[in-house]
Amino acid sequence: MHLLKTIEDHVLTNPEAIAFVSNGDQISYKDLWEKSDNISASIIQMSLKDSSPILVYGHMETEMIVCFLASVKSGHPYIPIDISIPIDRVTKIIESSKAELILNVSKLPISINNNVQVYEVNEIEKLYLNNNVVSDSWVKDDENFYIIYTSGSTGNPKGVQISANNLQSFVDWMLKDYPINEKLVFINQAPFSFDLSVMDIYPALASGGTIFAITKDMIAKPKFLFESLRVSKAQVWTSTPSFIQMCLMDPSFTQELLPEIRVFLFCGEILSPSICYQLRERFPSARIFNTYGPTEATVAVTGIEVTDALLKSYQVLPIGLPKNDTKIVLLDGDKSVEDGEKGEIIIVGPSVSKGYLGQKEMTEKAFFEYEGEPAYRTGDAGFINNNTLFYKGRMDYQIKLHGYRIEIEDIEHQILKTSYVKATVVIPITQNEKVEYIMAAIVPTEHPFEKEFQLSAAIKKELGEILPAYMIPRKFIYCDELPMTPNGKVDRKLIKEKVLV
Ligand code: AMP
């Protein structure tokens, strides 16, 4: 791997350049490098188990990136945990990852058992000052660089292991195939616990650019967001389609606000032509790219430029062609499908993860070897037409809501843990193939509430302690029993029809 070396080159040639800006705070390449060296020297002194992961807890503070680099320079992968993840879920991640160290950027309010050490950044930085870390200790090759936890259908989040080689393959592709390799300013919208953030962090750092964070405070206050965008001098925009759709609702979201924007990169959800038409109108000189991929294959593996000609040709936009070290195979069971036919999208190539941390069975189900190369069954349906790939939805109960990846069964497991629920089924409510919100049909147990809204409030309160806010259903309906199909499954369709009348 040469990613860290490439970043070091920028430190040497342009030390005062700004690497990361967040909420008025900023850090130069030199400081990023020196601080992460100091912390990594301290980590090395701690003699953690070989390659045991380090949890980095926080939001988008400049110290987050410092801690990421400190971890990998000390030979340990990091697990980025955003503060939006409730403590109960963080605890599960600590336990299942067997992390021994937490770098506590946002002051995690948690009491941890004796096996885990917790340090704030300024404490750990001072433990062993001025120690030079040699590159021999850096994470390399097939060793894990980061582990990102995503919603899991069993009710427990699962940790996708991304190696140094996986990440290098992704970053090489981004900098080669996209016009972003010129020390540009990248907008970072996704919290670091989502792998979309990797699409700006490492291409920015590997090209000597600057990351400009869109924090949760900005998202909560549109006026603050737009003021921040105005001063950002952003040139590369990376976000989910959901996020830009929200920005586009404001008529002042135009080239006047972001005069230097030249590239829009989207990933994570269906990109609608209507978003692209609006962008073409409001940012006529910017280029738009639709990229596709799951966390398990390192952010994205296919992409296509959305030109006026493409918009004219298709009502549903394609997701493009794979990067040149990767193959896309469409399978129906074990058989390849013909062009034009629908099959499961299989990703084959060097950015495919080695699997879920500590989850052998789950890994074996989804990851395999295809013609001698690592392959991942995405669970996405697709077809190939005119030599380009199209997305045709999911083959299971995974959804995207406002850009967040959610396993419906994960929510069902958590609802069943709350006090007043005998049975439940969670249903995504969609419009034009986009999930608008999620609702839960619930068979309640005995409860003390007079009104349904009081019961819903009580369930939501309990869910708030175990699920991130974006996974809590907006609407609850109550029934005496869940309707069944003739073959004994919960009749999700019927419940949905009842809700929509
Ligand atoms: P995540 O692991 O959060 O990146 O989510 C991966 C899933 O998001 C994929 O398996 C797809 O279902 C969906 N996805 C990613 N990119 C796109 C895209 N460009 N168009 C449609 N769906 C997408």
360-410 tens-digit pLDDT: 999 999 999 999 999 999 999 999 998 899 999 999 999 999 999 999 999
> Which contacts of 256-262 are long-range, i.e. CB under 8 A and separated by 24 or more positions?
257/226, 257/229, 257/230, 258/229, 258/230, 258/232, 258/234, 258/283, 260/185, 260/233, 260/234, 260/235, 261/234, 261/235, 261/236, 261/237, 261/286, 262/179, 262/184, 262/235, 262/236, 262/286, 262/287
* Protein residue closest via CA to atom 20 of ligand 1: 270
Is 132's pLDDT higher than 80? no
Distance 373 CA to ligand 1 centre (A): 22
CB-ligand 1 contact for 38 (6 Å cutoff): no
pLDDT band at 108 (very low <50, low <70, confident <90, very high): confident
CB-ligand 1 contact for 158 (6 Å cutoff): no
Q: What is the pLDDT of residue 28?
A: 98
Is 124's pLDDT higher than 80? yes
- In this predicted model, what pLDDT tens digit does every residue of 167-202 receive, in sequence order? 999 999 999 999 999 999 999 999 999 999 999 999
Q: Which of 188, 204, 232 is nearest to 24 (CA)?
A: 232
pLDDT band at 432 (very low <50, low <70, confident <90, very high): confident
Is 325's pLDDT higher than 70? yes
CB-ligand 1 contact for 268 (6 Å cutoff): yes
- What residue has token string 């990703």? 347
- Which residues, 6+ apart, have CB-to-CB distance to 64 below 8 Å? 56, 58, 80, 105, 192
Is 322's pLDDT higher than 80? yes
Q: What is the pLDDT of residue 131?
A: 62
Is 1's pLDDT higher than 90? no
Specify the CATH architecture of the domain 398-500. Answer: 2-Layer Sandwich (3.30)
Is residue 466 within 8 A of residue 88, CB to CB? The reply is yes
Q: For 349-353, what is the mean pLDDT?
A: 98
Q: Does domain 321-394 have CATH number 2.30.38.10?
A: yes
Distance 61 CA to ligand 1 centre (A): 26
Please state, in angstroms and rounded to a whole number, the distance separating the CA atoms of residues 54 and 126.
18
62-73 and 198-206 helices cross at what angle (nearest 10)? 70
Is 345's pLDDT higher than 70? yes
Is 112's pLDDT higher than 80? no
Distance 398 CA to ligand 1 centre (A): 10
Q: What is the pLDDT of residue 412?
A: 96
Please state, in angstroms and rounded to a whole number, the distance separating the CA atoms of residues 381 and 223.
39
What pTM was estimated for this model as a whole? 0.95
Q: What is the pLDDT of residue 495?
A: 86
Please state, in angstroms and rounded to a whole number, the distance separating the CA atoms of residues 418 and 462.
6
Q: What is the pLDDT of residue 498?
A: 76
CB-ligand 1 contact for 319 (6 Å cutoff): yes
- In this predicted model, what pLDDT tens digit does every residue of 436-481 receive, in sequence order? 999 999 999 999 999 999 999 999 999 999 999 999 999 999 999 9
CB-ligand 1 contact for 404 (6 Å cutoff): no
CA 379 to ligand 1: nearest atom = 10
Q: For 132-149, what is the mean pLDDT?
A: 92
CB-ligand 1 contact for 162 (6 Å cutoff): no
Comparing 133-137, 232-236, 270-274, the range with the smallest average pLDDT is 133-137
Cα-based distances in Å from 244 to 248, 267, 283, 302, 488: 6, 11, 13, 20, 42
CA 398 to ligand 1: nearest atom = 12
Query: What's the mean per-residue pLDDT of the chain?
Result: 94
Cα-based distances in Å from 226 to 217, 218, 232, 248, 250: 12, 8, 10, 11, 10
CATH code of the domain made up of 2-230+294-305? 3.40.50.12780
State the DSSP H helix or E strand holding residue 440, giving kind and residue range, or none if neither.
Answer: strand 434-444
CB-ligand 1 contact for 378 (6 Å cutoff): yes
CA 266 to ligand 1: nearest atom = 19
Is residue 269 within 8 A of residue 400, CB to CB? The reply is yes
Distance 316 CA to ligand 1 centre (A): 15
Please state, in angstroms and rounded to a whole number, the distance separating the CA atoms of residues 120 and 345.
42
CB-ligand 1 contact for 400 (6 Å cutoff): yes
- Work out whether the CA dihedral 364, 370, 374, 376 comes out positive or negative: negative
Altogether, the residues listed in the chain come to a count of: 501
* Protein residue closest via CA to atom 5 of ligand 1: 294
Kindly state the DSSP code that residue 260 receives in the 8-state scheme.
T
Q: Which of 177, 436, 158, 410 is nearest to 300 (CA)?
A: 177
Q: What is the pLDDT of residue 501?
A: 62
Is 488's pLDDT higher than 90? no
Please state, in angstroms and rounded to a whole number, the distance separating the CA atoms of residues 178 and 185.
14
Distance 404 CA to ligand 1 centre (A): 10
CA 405 to ligand 1: nearest atom = 3
259 or 134, greater pLDDT? 259
Please state, in angstroms and rounded to a whole number, the distance separating the CA atoms of residues 238 and 322.
19
Please state, in angstroms and rounded to a whole number, the distance separating the CA atoms of residues 336 and 328.
11
Q: SS in 3 state form for 73-88?
A: HCCCCEEEEECCCCHH
- Counting runs of H as helices and runs of E as strands, what totals does the chain give? 16, 26
Q: Where are the domains of the chain?
A: 2-230+294-305, 321-394, 398-500
CB-ligand 1 contact for 195 (6 Å cutoff): yes
Q: For 215-235, what is the mean pLDDT?
A: 95
Is 256's pLDDT higher than 90? yes
E strands, 9-62, where? Answer: 18-22, 25-28, 54-58
pLDDT band at 114 (very low <50, low <70, confident <90, very high): low
- In this predicted model, what pLDDT tens digit does every residue of 227-253 receive, in sequence order? 999 999 999 999 999 999 999 999 999
- Which residues, 6+ apart, have CB-to-CB distance to 448 below 8 Å? none
Query: Do the bridges between strand 421-431 and strand 434-444 make them parallel or antiparallel, or are there none, so unpaired?
Result: antiparallel
CB-ligand 1 contact for 405 (6 Å cutoff): yes
